[in-house]
Chains A and B, each alone.
Chain A
Amino acid sequence: MTKKQIELSAQDISAVEKPVNRARLVTAPEHFISPELIADINTNGLDETRRGFLRKGFFSALGGAAGLAAPMVFAAGEGDPAILEKQEWQTTLGKNVATMPYGVPSIYEANLIRRESPGLTRVAASSVAFTPLQGLFGTITPNGLHFERHHQGWFNLNPETHRLMVNGMVKNARVFTMNDLMRMPSVSRTHFIECGANTGLEWGNVAVPTVQYTHGMLSCCEFTGVPLKALLEECGADLKKGKFLLAEGGDGSGMTRTINLESCLDDTIVAWGMNGEMLRPENGFPLRLVVPGVQGVSWVKWLRRLEVGDMPWNSKDEAVHYIELMPDGIHRQYASIQECKSVITTPSGGQQLLDKGFYNVSGMAWSGRGKIKRVDVSFDGGNHWRTARLETPVLTKSITRFNIDWTWDGSPAILQSRAIDDTGYVQPSIKTLRDVRGNRSIYHNNAIQSWKLDPNGEVSNVQVG
């Protein structure tokens, strides 16, 4: 779409279709709250006095005219049929235990499934299925909703014949069975995994409607396995000269990626467990590499071989794909770290709010360089920001859930979130990134996401600035 300068006013934020019109930004009514009060509430929380300020401010901002959601009204002898009438589940016998020996979500959750983005890829065996972030709570991705990315299809590998070989610059090339590996001292750690191409569709312009497609190559699980370091030391790896590790998958693509041992040796896991059960076949059953903070392609699935070496391998997925085209025609190679990023998941693109009133605006923040320190949220397209609450625990290289209270008065708004990690790095705007990298690099787009909320309650994906 062509760039359109629009007027952001309390009356009409959806004026994109109107003639180009330069105007001063009018502060949206949600900024009736003074910065001092925001700081006070952030420090001390809400008490009755502060609530009073909020109410006062809110109604004066609306001129006292706007009505909030009308609750259902019943006469004294009437009421909500959901209460007055007996429901089937109150009056009959329910199902037996173990009717579903492996439990599945309620039928009412059927809409929240992994989905493909039509036209993104042409062959379903080498494609992507995105996680429905718009419906998730907290930080953990349910195993059945973990995003999928395969390069040559997936299999159910037989765990009894699966082997892990460690070779290269090691004293002894060794072979381990699953029986061997699962006897070793294990750790369980929660980490996010994000494809390097997540949000890659949006480098040039808005391309997809919802957070499932903008950010859904992102998942977060508790992974269980043996630390890579213990395994390499067991094989007598020369870690002084061997600064690189080739990880190879057991699928048809024989997927290979070079791992930076200097950077990743301390927290990489050779994992079999995922959220308390074995890895799902789509996610590498029975063995995958977990490389915290590094893009998903390096988390090699169906892991069959690790080779210690003294130089990178330039495999297909580090010399032809997963390289980033810069404006001068040079590609960045071996860009691996997923930098600090966040996104509001509710409300988010394609969603429909029912009514005005109170909302808990919520989202996810993560950084491949450490812990999330702070998340700020804006409701006016980035002009003013308030600091959100972080849910605990805040873990390194993991998803942190943030929430912020918001009372929507029905005016147009543009919602954004901006994360800061414990290195002090501040999540950038898309313009900041484009100024350095252009818009053809595909990978590592960690820009601030904007969602436009129209007075009809519909939320849509927009880019600001």
Chain B
Amino acid sequence: MFRLDKLFAHLVLLSLAVFSAQLAYAQNTQGPTKFPGIGRNATPAEVIAWDIDVRPDFKGLPKGSGSVAQGQVIWESKCASCHGVFGESNEIFTPIAGGTTVDDIKTGKVASLADRKQPQRTTLMKVPTVSTLWDYIYRAMPWNAPRSLTPDDTYALVAFILSLGDIVPDDFVLSNANIAEIQKKMPNRNGMTRDHGFWSVNGKPDVNSQACMTNCVKFVQIGSTLPDFARNAHGNIAEQNRLYGPYRGSDSSKPPIAKLPGSTGEGLAHAGDTHAASTKGPSALFRSENCSACHAPNAKLVGPSITAIAAKYQGQGGAQEQLMAKVKNGGSGVWGAIPMPPQSQLSDEDRAILVRWMLTGQ
């Protein structure tokens, strides 16, 4: 009887809510009217569709659950190609797991962060709040297909990541009911401070220098310079400055010049050597058409390196046509399990330019 009463009350409330909602959303200028005719009220469905953020107090967290085991299955199919099977990969992004201890889970402060020899900070070493993992995975992962995971998928993935850090056992099921308990085990939950002057424009700076004008330092000591081997690591600096005017770039492909060039710039590159840059060159296409999202010239990313592709197809008749078809239609199996999506946006001409460049460097 009590239950029926309650149900009835809910129904009345619900129908009232629907009625008033219909009124509200039908009117364009309901509410403030400083700017009549501008904007309209959002419908509840619209707010639900977009307001997906989850706060540290779990406001906004949808109901649901997922186990470590379920998470592992999703992880291996959708996440491991970038993050590694155990979240350890440092190939594409910084590692997800590692660097935390059982003791950190007790103290809530990751001890290795104070160790100056710690080579890298993993996500689990830094993240203070489990809500952050949930919010970000749900809103932005996987990298190339954001918003494709369900809330249950997300619970499962968060559970799997937590298990990688031994924060939960391997048979754990994470849900909206127990996530607040897990927050109390986050290894770096006490590792953040907001006690600094950088949050507000009126905050107090952490250093306060003096503006000395004369005889300010006893010795001028050079503490660091660019190592010789890095001289040309950013490409030739001469090509990153004007080829005329008082400030040229030094030719970093060669050792420093012996003496001043003089006012005519003798021995330096000249503006007259300039050619109009091609925007349709293969390296420009490689970037603008997003090939570089998965391929690098010399390193394996999601897909094989250009060097590796060139080596594999070197001397093979018909390689140009074969690869042009692959770029157009996509492919899989040659370089591992991750498929290459079809690149149908490319014109035939651009495809030919790109494939020739991959195979011959020209």
Contacts and interface: CB of A to CB of B under 8 A. Distances in A.
Main secondary structure of the interface of A (DSSP, over half): loop
Given A234-B39, A254-B139, A425-B205, A452 B222 contact: yes
Chain A's interface size range is 35 or more
> What 7 A-B pairs are tightest by C-beta distance, nearest first?
A329-B114, A381-B220, A335-B198, A329-B113, A350-B237, A316-B136, A173-B42
Contacts of A355: 260-263
Interface string B246-261: 1111111000111111
Nearest to A248: B53
B229 to A, nearest CB: 11
B194 A334 contact: yes
B91 A122 contact: yes
A112 B126 contact: no
A463 interface: yes
Contact of A460 (B30, B38, B226): B226
A311 B217 contact: no
A356 B209 CA distance: 33
B306 to A, nearest CB: 14
A194 interface: no
Interface stretch (B9-17, B169-177, B269-277, B333-341): B269-277
Interface of A: 1, 3-6, 8, 16, 22, 25, 35, 69-72, 107-112, 115, 117-119, 122-125, 132, 134-135, 151-153, 165, 167-168, 171-176, 180, 183-184, 205-210, 212-213, 230, 233-236, 246, 248, 252-254, 256, 260, 262-264, 293, 304-305, 307, 309, 311-316, 319-320, 323, 325-337, 339, 346-348, 350-357, 359, 368-369, 374, 376, 380-385, 410, 414, 418, 420, 425-429, 432-433, 435-438, 440, 444, 452, 454-465
Chain B's interface size range is 35 or more
A30 B188 CA distance: 53
Contacts of A463: 222-225
A336 B203 CA distance: 11
Interface stretch (B64-72, B154-162, B287-295, B321-329): B287-295
B214 A307 contact: no
A10 to B, nearest CB: 13
A464 B220 CA distance: 7
B210 A337 contact: no
A311 B220 contact: no
B78 interface: no
B246 A210 contact: no
A445 to B, nearest CB: 12
Contact of A173 (B47, B114, B210, B218): B47
A354 B206 CA distance: 41
B193 interface: yes
Contacts of B109: 329-330
Contacts of B209: 426-429, 432
Given A35-B213, A236-B32, A353 B293 contact: no
Interface string B262-302: 11110010010011110000000001001011001000010
B178 interface: no
Residue of B116, B211, B293 with most chain A CB atoms under a 10 A cut-off: B211
A151 B252 CA distance: 31
A402 to B, nearest CB: 14
B249 to A, nearest CB: 6
A71 to B, nearest CB: 7
